[in-house]
Structure 1
Amino acid sequence: MRTLFGRPSAGRASPANQQTKPDAPALSPQDAQLSSALMRVNHVGEICAQALYQSQSLVCRDPKLRRHFEQAARDELDHLAWTQQRLDDLGGRRSYLTPLWYGGAFGIGCLAGLAGDRISLGFVVETERQVEQHLASHMERLPAEDHASRAVVAQMKEEEARHADEALAAGAQLLPAPIKSAMRLSAKVMTRTAHYI
């Protein structure tokens, strides 16, 4: 309920704060609209990350691994708060389908967790690698003048890569190609839908 309807609170200051200058020129309406749509997609991604890590932690068998998932969820909570702040700053809104995204990701996380800890970690690796690629594409699409959004996305990208590396080091079993392809397809549906709805 906190993830879906609460106001996320970051444990760390947003990277956007260092980029916000009072004398900076305002974004054009078109650039603000594009940034808002991209940050809405990123916000949905962070909603899904909360659901995934919460569900995987819930069904995890290893206490040490459970702590790993909980720490990753805390990092992702910062990302959720940062993307919400950028949406607010840009005059944007959350996806209308947020409960659907959360519920679907929670179910997928439970399935990955029930398949075993190594497979669950493999799911984290593949998810975070795909998110990293997705954020790299946003760095190319975000308006050059939107330094605040770019700073947030760059920091998120760095931390998603770290989460993947940590899961790999913890003993992840890499997923087979058909599962990776299915994950890419579902992510594409989600990102395209959240861009508008």
Structure 2
Amino acid sequence: MLSAARHLSSVDHVLVEVQRALETTLGDPPASRPCPARAEDPVLPKAERRHAAGLMRINHVGEVCAQGLYFGQAAVARDPATRQHLLEAAQEETDHLAWCAQRLRELDSRPSLFNPLWYAGSYAIGTLAGLRGDGWNLGFVVETERQVEAHLDEHLDTLPADDQRSREIIRVMKEDEARHADHAEAAGARILPQPIPQAMALASKFMKLVAYRL
């Protein structure tokens, strides 16, 4: 038995990141917390069920993107405290990912076909943000989470009235996202200059248009 943890080589680090990518996009990572959906699953009309599935697929893609962003940022974070903050946030995003996947199955639907692409793009953005320094790293967390909060509010407004299971999941997700943003601000996040937030919003809009159907 080794007396100390083995030092990870560059190849080990690459393999860890590849495993994370595969688990997020093609696997079924388990949640560390019980799913907050407690309401009965109603029999929704076909159009409403399809709409709810489209919204939950968008949310699932959002969590795939969050995983890519946070793991990319954590891979190059300079401060151990910042890295730990990012990995802890990523764990809660894994919970969201699992809950959304479960709800999609309940709605007889599936995740986005483009999840590997969403993850790769987000990982690249996270890595670039992290290379600018931890203040930028945390600034991306704040902006990402605030934008996610806004689109979750939209979903709460447009979900079928009887779909309380999806609403229960989204409400807990929204609380978690707000906490991630607050913690990042307290840890020294920089305010991102324009046009970065605008570009992020445009990318999010494109993702939502595609993920709603595919």
TM-score interval, normalised by the smaller of the two chains = over 0.9
One-letter code aligned to 2:26? F
Counterpart of 2:26 in structure 1 is 5
2:194 and 2:158 map into 1 onto residues whose CA distance is 28
State TM-score, norm by structure 1: 0.96
- Closer, same or farther: CA 172–28 of 1 in aligned 2, 3 Å: same
Aligned residues with identical type, % of pairs: 52
Deviation at 1:30, TM superposition (A): 1.1
SS where residue 121 of structure 1 aligns?
helix
State TM-score, norm by structure 2: 0.88
- Closer, same or farther: CA 38–120 of 1 in aligned 2, 3 Å: same
1:11 and 1:101 map into 2 onto residues whose CA distance is 23
Q: Say whether residues 1:120 and 2:141 are aligned partners.
A: no
1:64 and 1:126 map into 2 onto residues whose CA distance is 20
SS where residue 177 of structure 1 aligns?
coil
1:161 to 178, 185, 201: 178
CA deviation profile, 1:52-96 (whole Å, cap 9, x unmatched): 111111000001111111100000000000000000000011111
Counterpart of 2:96 in structure 1 is 79
Ranges in structure 2 where 5+ consecutive residues have no aligned partner = 1-21
Correspondences of 1:30-179 after superposition (within 5 Å): 30-179=47-196
Ranges in structure 1 where 5+ consecutive residues have no aligned partner = none
Greater helix percent: which structure? 1
Q: How many equivalent residue pairs?
A: 193
Counterpart of 2:13 in structure 1 is none
One-letter code aligned to 2:36? P
One-letter code aligned to 2:31? A
1:173 and 1:28 map into 2 onto residues whose CA distance is 46
1:29 and 1:196 map into 2 onto residues whose CA distance is 15
CA deviation profile, 1:117-150 (whole Å, cap 9, x unmatched): 0011001100000000010000001011000001
1:101 and 1:173 map into 2 onto residues whose CA distance is 25
Provide the alpha-carbon RMSD of the alignment: 0.8
Q: Which runs of 4+ in 1 moved over 6 A?
A: none
Q: Who wins on radius of gyration, i.e. which is larger? A: 2
